[in-house]
Structure 1
Amino acid sequence: MHVMFVPSWYHNKRNPVHGSFFKEQAQALQEAGIKITVAYNEIWPLTLLGKVKEKIGFSFNSEDNLKTYRYKNFNYLPKNSKMFSIFNRRLERVYKEIVKNEGKVDIIHCQSSFWAGISCLYIAKKYNIPFIITEHSSLKRAVYIKNSYIPLVKNSYLGADVLIAVGNGLKNELYELTGREDIKVINNLIPTDNFYISNPKNEDFTFFSLAFLEGEKGMDVLIKAFAKYFRNRKAKLIIGGDGSQKEELKKLSKSINIEKQVEFLGALKREDVAHYMSNCDAFVLASKHETFGVVYIEALASGKPIIGTYNGGAEDIINRNNGLIVEVDNIDALGKAMVEIKENINFYNSEEIRKECIKKYSKEAVTKKIIDVYNSLLQ
């Protein structure tokens, strides 16, 4: 079985971790015995004109043992729906190169409709190839999607032989748009082997949070909740991640007199994430919206109880045995949940939390579900 694996965004020389969970899924499928070839239409914004030193056109490399074909070029028609006709032709050239060098493609598996799913539909229909979309992103909250793009995205969803959502909240959104009743839910896989249990002896009870520091992640709500319920108590809040709100959040911490209890780490490497997940006492993320919630799973893989919000993704993940879930933007509910976790920390069994996480979200568990979909298409 040969699968052309098509990410909508992927790592590049300017952002080496972009789309890392796409690559991890492709690697896991390959390890499970599926022949995977990555096809990536690498689209450069015009703001990079004169700055990019790479060659326009085809490139091929074995990237982390994945055969990877790229077509690199600028988007010469930004914000114009005609650009998709150009993208279709670019990806088609990549497809033809893959067939010439790697053999017949049995299935096209696209990660998110925007941008790649639109072009994958074009190729799948033209060459009569089974086509899957796994959607990771909310169309309602997408920053770069213009109204003129929405019919094209909807058509890709309707044209896919199988449409997969990474969470039930996202599934409901896709159903509202398409009316499809056969949408499957297959969660993102997490490299659980990268995370581990330790038994920290923190002098102060330590909450850890990790996200891009942007408005929808609710870091201001978290800081206010921590201040209201833990100011001048033996507790600490460590925040990982970078973003446009970082300095504003630091000022907030100072203005409500908790700056000595709050630590901002900035952007973290993958191994640093594992370290802080393992060495906190509990993980908390108060985001307003999540299609899935990878960081929740990383915390569970580290054996930590978690606190989240009813944000569309956390509901699939959090249960009474591994944490608490509260309303979005509710400072008191969040603060009280943090107090409850702290006071009842011995209720949570790290080994059981990790065991349940691995059962649901390990690469073995998730790849089995994906391969079952592949096999059903080829029967």
Structure 2
Amino acid sequence: MHILIIPSEEYVPEYAPMAGIFQHDQAKIIQQKGHQVGVLSFTFKYSFSSLLNALIGKKNKHTKNLGIVALLTTIIKKMFTPFQSAFHYEIKDQIDVIRCDGFWGGKKSNLPLSKYEVWMKYGDIALSIYIEKYGKPDLIHAHNMIYAGLCFIELGQKYNIPVVITEHSSQYIMGEVNNELKLKLSNTFNASNNFYAVSPELIKQLEQQFSLPINKIKWLPNVLDDFIESKPLTIGKNQRQKVRFLNIANLIKLKGQAELIKAFAKLSKDKDNIELIIAGEGELKEKLIHLIDTLHLNDKVKLIGLISREEVINQLDNCDVFVLPSHYETFGVVLIEALSRGVPVVSTYCGGPECIVNDSNGILVQPKNVDELAQAMLKMYHEHNNYNKEQLRESVINLYGKEAFYKRIMEIYKSV
């Protein structure tokens, strides 16, 4: 079978290797099973106005690192050969990838339907190039309706290729979709089939927002990273003489690290043998550092910044409890990663975690509730050793490992 995967975000670019990583994990599993897999990856960095503004010194995040020669070269290419210069080819882990660096031209990039129009223009060209170079795929698997799903449902009809959509995004629930785009989405959802979402709660939210019939959208959970699944479980006695809590997430309000630190402060008032490690970077870093200092937790709470996949495994293997205090998650891949290393979890009822966490592997609490989170962490402080690491790992791999994913995805592909 020949599958073309199209994420709505970039596909593991060098400068942001975690972007599109879930799609990459899935693509590798399918490719390793003997199927032909290709990817179209889109980004749209420049417009007429952003390039001209950069010439007079008003640079943005995309133009700030362009020197004068690179800037002039980019202007010439984008203004005179916007399509010819847009496409580049590479092979990523034996997967053929066409990258499209599109150009906004004179369109306003902050208008949702302008984005849709630009995606359609470049998507049509990209798909025709892909078919000419690698052959016509049997199926397109687009990730997220905004904008890969919206565009390639239409383009799939044009090229007579069936399309499957998996929805991961939280922007519907977070109120980030304007009415004009919402109408376009509603029409497309109701007129098409083969929709999936990564958690039952996300399905419920989409059904409510777009007035969809029950079972219009089905469940297709994310997959555990094979790099983590393939590493043997290491089981040894805790030599630290401290109970270590771990959180790995972007340092943004949505991820709830402020509540986590406050809950940990309550727990640590009469306990010296505990510590909290937080891995990640983000806009709240300085505020979290200030909060740690204010609560006099500098000797117990450590922010360790971004970590590699290898270091993720190392941190999980050297913690006792993983905590995810998010306000909202469409799934919660980091939870299945923790469980695959035999680590029990504390998480919030925030969408995705409810289909992962249960009494056998952890505790669920209400989001933004510091007292409830502190009580759950206290319970884990006393009971974390009661969990069987091998059973935690076996259970999560049976549900979310690569073989479980491959079985699910092949049933879906064959059905369409």
TM-score w.r.t. the length of structure 2 is: 0.86
In the alignment, structure 1 residue 171 sits paired with structure 2 residue 210:
no
1:203 has 2:257 as partner: no
Question: Structure 1: how far apart are the matches of 2:95 and 2:114?
Answer: 31
1:253 is matched with which residue?
Answer: 292
Aligned residue type for 2:400: Y
Deviation at residue 141 of structure 1 after TM alignment: 4.3
Q: CA deviation at 1:121?
A: 1.5
Asked if 2 retains the 8 angstrom alpha-carbon contact of 1:196 and 1:274, the reply is no
The superposition leaves residues 276-333 of structure 1 with CA deviations (integer Å, 9 ceiling, x where unpaired) of 0111011011111000001111100110000001101111111111110111111111
Measured in 1, the distance between the counterparts of 2:175 and 2:152 equals 22
1:83: Cα distance to partner?
Answer: 3.3
- How far did residue 30 of structure 1 move? 1.1
Higher mean alpha-carbon deviation, 9-18 vs 243-252, is at: 9-18
Which secondary structure state, in structure 2, belongs to the residue aligned with residue 82 of structure 1? Answer: helix
Unpaired runs of 5+ in structure 1?
none
CA–CA distance in 2 between the matches of 1:362 and 1:291?
A: 18
Match of 2:224 among 177, 187, 190: 190
SS of equivalent to 1:283: strand
Q: Distance in 1 between matches of 2:178 and 2:404?
A: 36
Provide the residue aligned with 1:212 in structure 2.
250
**Equivalent AA in structure 2 for residue 35 of structure 1:** Q
Alignment of 1:65 onto 2:98: no
The separation in 1 between residues aligned to 2:172 and 2:118, in whole angstroms, is 25
Is 1:361 matched with 2:392? no
C-alpha distance 197-322 of structure 1, shift in aligned 2 (>3 A) = farther
Asked whether the 8 Å contact 2:199–2:330 carries over to 1, the reply is yes
Distance 1:83 1:248, change over 3 A: closer
Matched letter for residue 267 of structure 2? Y
- From 278, 282, 295, the equivalent of 1:243 is 282
Q: What is the aligned-residue RMSD (CA, Å)?
A: 1.9
Amino acid at match of 2:332: G
Q: 1:143 to 1:24 in 2, by over 3 A?
A: farther
**Equivalents in 2 of 1:256, 1:247: separation in Å?**
14
Is the aligned partner of 1:79 residue 2:110? yes
Cross-structure match for 2:169: 137
CA distance in 1, matches of 2:123, 2:219: 27
Deviation at 1:253? 1.2
- Mapping for residues 1-379 of structure 1, pairs under 5 Å: 1-9=1-9, 10-45=11-46, 46=50, 47=60, 48-49=62-63, 51=65, 56-76=85-105, 77=107, 78-80=109-111, 81-141=113-173, 145-178=177-210, 179-182=212-215, 183-191=217-225, 192-194=229-231, 196-199=233-236, 200-233=238-271, 234-377=273-416
Conservation of the 8 A alpha-carbon contact between 1:195 and 1:278: no
Aligned to 1:69, the other structure's residue is in SS state strand
Q: Which stretch shows the higher mean deviation, 46-55 or 323-332?
A: 46-55
Partner amino acid, structure 2, of 1:175: E
Q: Return the alpha-carbon distance in structure 2 between the equivalents of residues 195 and 116 of structure 1.
A: 36
CA, structure 1 residues 195+371, in 2 after alignment: closer, same or farther (shift >3 Å)? same
Q: CA deviation at 1:51?
A: 4.5
Helix, strand or coil for the counterpart of 2:251? coil
CA contact under 8 A between 2:102 and 2:122: conserved in structure 1? Answer: no
Q: Which runs of 5 or more structure 2 residues have no equivalent in the other structure?
A: 51-59, 78-84
Hey, what's the Cα distance between the residues in 1 that align with 2:368 and 2:245? 18
Provide the aligned length of Structure 1 versus Structure 2: 377
Instruction: Using the TM superposition, name which of 146-155 and 46-55 deviates more.
Output: 46-55
Quick check: 2:6–2:143 contact (8 Å CA) kept in 1?
Answer: yes
Report the identity percentage: 32
1:364 Cα deviation after fit: 1.3
Shift of residue 269 of structure 1? 1.0
Which region of structure 1 is more displaced relative to structure 2, 265-274 or 176-185? Answer: 176-185
Amino acid at match of 1:257: H
Q: TM-score, normalised by structure 1?
A: 0.94
The one-letter code sitting in structure 2 at the alignment partner of 1:223 is I
For residue 371 of structure 1, report the CA deviation from its aligned partner: 1.0
Amino acid at match of 1:6: I
CA distance in 2, matches of 1:84, 1:333: 43
Greater Cα offset, 287-296 or 111-120: 111-120
The amino acid that maps onto 2:213 is R
SS at match of 1:41: strand
Distance 1:126 1:60 in 2: 24
Per the alignment, in what secondary structure is the counterpart of residue 225 of structure 1? helix
Tell which deviates more after alignment, 134-143 or 202-211: 134-143
Q: CA deviation at 1:93?
A: 1.0
Counterpart of 1:220 in structure 2: which amino acid?
A
Say which SS state the counterpart of residue 164 (structure 1) adopts. strand
Indicate if the aligned counterparts of 1:189 and 1:362 stay in contact, CA closer than 8 A.
yes
Once the two structures are overlaid, the 10-residue window that deviates more, 246-255 or 154-163, is 154-163
